Amino acid sequence: MLEKFMRKKDKVSPSSDNQPHKTEESGKKGFSFQYAPSLESTDIVKIAETQKLFINGEFVESTGEQFFDTLNPATGLALSKVVESTEQDVDKAVRSARKAFEQVWSKTTGSERAQYLFRIARLIQDRSRELAVLETLDNGKPIKESRDVDIPLAAAHFFYNAGWADKLDYAFSGKNVRPLGVAAQVIPWNFPLLMAAWKIAPALATGNCVVLKPAETTSLTALLLAEICQEAGLPPGVVNIVTGAGETGARLTNHPDINKVAFTGSTEVGKIIARSLAGKDTKLTLELGGKSAQIVYEDAALDQAVEGVVNGIFFNQGHVCCAGSRLLLEESIANLFVKKLKARMSSLRVGNPLDKNTDVGAIHSQVELDKITGFVREAQMEGLEYFSASATTLPKEGYFHKPCFFNNVSSSASICRKEVFGPVLAISTFRTPQEAIVKANDTAYGLAAGVWSEKASKIQKTALGLKAGIVWANTYNKFDPASPFGGYKESGWGREGGRHGLLPYVEVQS
């Protein structure tokens, strides 16, 4: 099969042929560069048949018996069984957190807390391969992303917040701050370990104890993090993890002995939690949904803008609250941009998340896949121009969806208003910066936005006009523990990350 590389021997010698490159054969000498599967080994991961809860520093059995499967989205097969925590489990976890807070954690010094957090960060790094593989197995995201984004960032969150623990005096302009007590934290399935780190690290740094509930479909890395907490010698009860679905989440957030609730997830559930906490003294931060727009001006660096748009919507299969799911193109470059975008999308490699060359992995679950295909079908029925990288063949097993977009979408189309949470982009055009800003803001959400232009003053003006908590200018979907994250309007309350991310976990003394 390698003959295809061999140059024909019967050709005349170059010195006597002045046009050696213009022969009929030219162009046929190329080879088909198929990347052979390069699978990350899963040997490093040991998954128990059934999972336990992590309460008071120990892995304990639930008092309940209602187990459910946690699946590998790339195969649809069960990886392990996870338990739905009972009221008693949740209560026990909260009590253990309270006890740890009162007896141990509130008495530690900042530098002691920092030491624990540094150690956890280091252990995450030490076990990064294992965590990455487990994350990819349980979530379906490409190993490339769990390896290069999720796990390193999770460690970075602990490192970053560790440093704050003994410097809180500097964080609040000379004010004294006190921890709140026990924080109930409920996190989503799209960045399981990263969200856990994102929640736990600032809470612990500021002196709080936590009860964390991972999403019911992605508990495994959170439980491995619990093991790491144990290994780091974290005092029992400072971090507790209960598993289960919405019911467990409600039990936790409505527990009477909670001082603080931090939730990341859908706006729908966020609103339920907010209503349930109305009239209570519990502090609440919410990181909710989004329908973020990317504005591409005609004077943008178009090739990099294409990258940013692709990264914006297809990163993590579009299962990202701040996904750039709407694309607003200046009319003068719209056709050119769409052409470039199509070409770029065609080179995306969709498939087995464990393959190191996979760019787009598995849709997280059948439920999500159905939701996405529902949106796509609806938009198709509305007659919208649809494109998906047709050369891509999807694996037969598991849940997959081709990266795709709809072009010339009106602002009223549901694909332009509702959060799809999948690899589906809605494209429309604008004529002036003013129109671009108005269109970008034409949503109930306000999490993030992107703007692409090489004209600095236009970037500044646009960024000011955008009603969004994060504005990525000439880049997109960048995350850092030092950078505050959170949205305007229905995308949530409060910020996480950075100095601003400490505020929701403290009481500032006047």
Partner 1 sequence: MIQARYVVTSGGQRIPINDQPVDQVGAEERALSFTKRSIKKQSKLDALYAIIQMIDLTTLEGADTPARVRQMCAKAIQPVPRSLYAELQQDYKAPELPSVAAVCVYPTLVGTAVDALKGSLVQVASVATAFPSGQLPLNLKLADVKFAVDMGATEIDMVIPRGAFLSGQYQKVFDEIVATKEACGSAHLKVILETGELQTYDNVNLASRIAIMAGADFIKTSTGKVNPAATLPVTLVMLQVIKDHFEETGRKIGMKPAGGIRDTKTAIHYLCMVNEVLGEDWLNPDLFRFGASSLLNDVLRQIYKQYTGRYFYDDLFSMD
Partner 2 sequence: MIFNRTTTPSPLVPKTNKLFINGEFPRSESGRSEPVHLHNSQKLHSYVCRASRKDLRTAVTAAQAGLPSWQKKTAYNRGQILYRMAEMLSSRRLDLVAQLQELLGIQENQAHEQVDKSLETLLYYSGFADKLNQVLGTINPVSGPYHNFTALEPMGVVGIVYDQEFNLNLFFHQIASTLCAGNSLVMIFDKPGCALLSDLAEIFKTSDLPNGVINLLSGSVEELSSPMASHMEVHALVVASADKDRLCQMQKLAVDNMKRVILWDFTKLSVEPLSALSESKTVWHPVGV
Residue span 277-296 as binding mask against partner 2, x where in contact by CB under 8 A, dash where not: xxx------x-x--------
Give every CB contact of residue 126 below 8 A, 6+ residues apart in sequence: none
Query: Using CA atoms, how far apart are residues 487 and 490, in angstroms rounded to an integer?
Result: 8
Nearer to partner 1, 343 or 367 (CB): 343
Among 101, 400, 430, 485, binds partner 2 (CB under 8 A): 485
Selection from partner 2, partner 1, none that 444 binds (CB < 5 to 8 A by kind) is partner 2
**Total residues at interface with partner 2 (CB under 8 A):** 44
Stretch of 63-71, 91-99, 217-225, 269-277 lying at the interface with partner 2 (CB under 8 A) = 269-277
| Distance, C-alpha 468 to centroid of its chain | 18
Q: Which of 84, 135, 287, 330 is an active site residue? A: 287
Minimum Å gap between C-beta 240 and partner 2 is: 28
CA distance 510 to 507: 9
Token representation of residue 139 = 């979530």
For residue 271, the partner it binds in partner 1, partner 2, none, with Cβ less than 5 to 8 A by kind, is partner 2
Going by C-alpha positions, the residue among 46, 95, 365, 101 that lies closest to residue 224 is 46
Q: Is 474 in the site for partner 2 (CB under 8 A)?
A: yes
387 binds partner 2 (CB under 8 A): no
Helices (H), 390-489: 414-417, 433-441, 456-465
Site string for partner 2, 166-205 (x = CB under 8 A): -------x--------------------------------
Residue 287 among the catalytic residues: yes
The interface partner of residue 396, options being partner 1, partner 2, none and the CB cut-off 5 to 8 Å by kind, is none
490 binds partner 2 (CB under 8 A): yes
DSSP state of 264: E
Phi, psi of 375 (to 5 degrees): -65, -45
In angstroms, rounded to a whole number, what is the distance separating the alpha carbons of residues 90 and 96? 10
CB 329 within 8 A of CB 340: no
The type of residue at 95 is: R
Distance from C-alpha of 448 to C-alpha of 441, rounded to nearest angstrom: 10
How many other CB atoms sit within 10 Å of the CB of residue 56?
18
What stretches of 327-402 show up as alpha helix (H) in DSSP? 331-346, 366-381
299 binds, among partner 1, partner 2, none (CB under 5 to 8 A by kind): partner 1
Catalytic residue check, 321: yes
Q: Would you say 21 or 46 has its CB closer to partner 1?
A: 21
For the chain, helix (H) and strand (E) counts, in that order, are 16, 19
Helix, strand or coil, per DSSP, at residue 204: helix
- Which residue, 144 or 401, is less far from partner 2 as judged by CB? 144
- The residue ranges that bind partner 2 (CB under 8 A) are 156, 173, 267, 270-271, 274-275, 277-279, 286, 288, 444, 459, 463, 466, 468-475, 478, 480, 482-486, 488-493, 495, 498-500, 503, 508, 510
- The residue ranges that bind partner 1 (CB under 8 A) are 2-3, 5-9, 11, 13-15, 17-21, 26-38, 144, 148, 298-305, 307-308, 339, 343, 347, 356-357, 454-455, 474-475
What residues are labeled active site?
Answer: 287, 321
